[in-house]
Amino acid sequence: MSGRTAFVTGGSRGIGRATCVALAAAGHRVAFCFGHDEEGAAATEAAVRDAGGEVLALRAAIGDAAAVDGAFAAVEERFGAVEVLVNNAGITRDGLLARMSDEAWDDVIRVNLTGAFQTIRRATPRMMRARFGRIVNVSSVGGHIGGAGQANYSAAKAGLLGLSRSVAREYATRGITCNVVAPGPIVTAMTEAQGEDWMATVATAVPVGRFGTPEECAAAIAFLCSDAAGYITGALLPVDGGLGMGH
């Protein structure tokens, strides 16, 4: 598994940062992109280096085809063809459906779903030539149980499953796998900002009774990126403490 080139979108914090570190610890060269969080990107770079990995940070607007192409070109020039792709970038524009603007819908679909389509489309030709590829798309428990005030986000995250299974079928004979990890409530700066009372209330809905950690998600992602996971494709792996079981 060592020595491959990995590219993680949305790597400046949270699950993305933890994934970069986990892949570096597995021996990969790690490139990641971020939107605006330069301070977070610098922290991810430092964490990857601490894990013993080579790292390349790129500012890129996921959802913009030209930006995606430019990011891949930079990775290829520095590290070679991308062999491991993790689509983690995501945004929210929450609001009740009746009041949701076209812009809020379009922004979330563009980044969370179209962005994954564009990175996969860009990565797979060289994966096919190498007859090896690992693609993991980070969805959400909200993609299969829904979320009030999150019609755009839930739709995009649900769409990742259909995209991933189509990719899995198209490329199964080429040594390329495509899987989905669906996190539940995870401890991040965003959730911690909601306050302890809110987090305690949400945790009561989770069968294991707590929030997960970015590192727990990253461990699942890193496994699906490994050689050992070569017979797993088109799978949905929940990392949600049992919140979405039965869906």
Q: 66-87: b or e for each residue (b if 16 or more CB lie within 10 Å)? A: ebbeebbeebeeebebbbbbbb
Q: Which of 83, 80, 79, 35 is nearest to 60 (CA)?
A: 35
Q: One of 7, 32, 153, 211 is an active-site residue; which one?
A: 153
Note the Cα 43 to chain centre separation in Å.
18
- Phi, psi (degrees; rounded to nearest 5) at 175: 80, 15
Burial class (CB in 10 A: 0-12, 13-18, 19+), 64: middle
Burial class (CB in 10 A: 0-12, 13-18, 19+), 178: buried
153 is catalytic: yes
Q: In angstroms, rounded to a whole number, what is the distance separating the alpha carbons of residues 229 and 81?
A: 20
Strand, coil or helix: 135: strand
Report the catalytic residues. 153
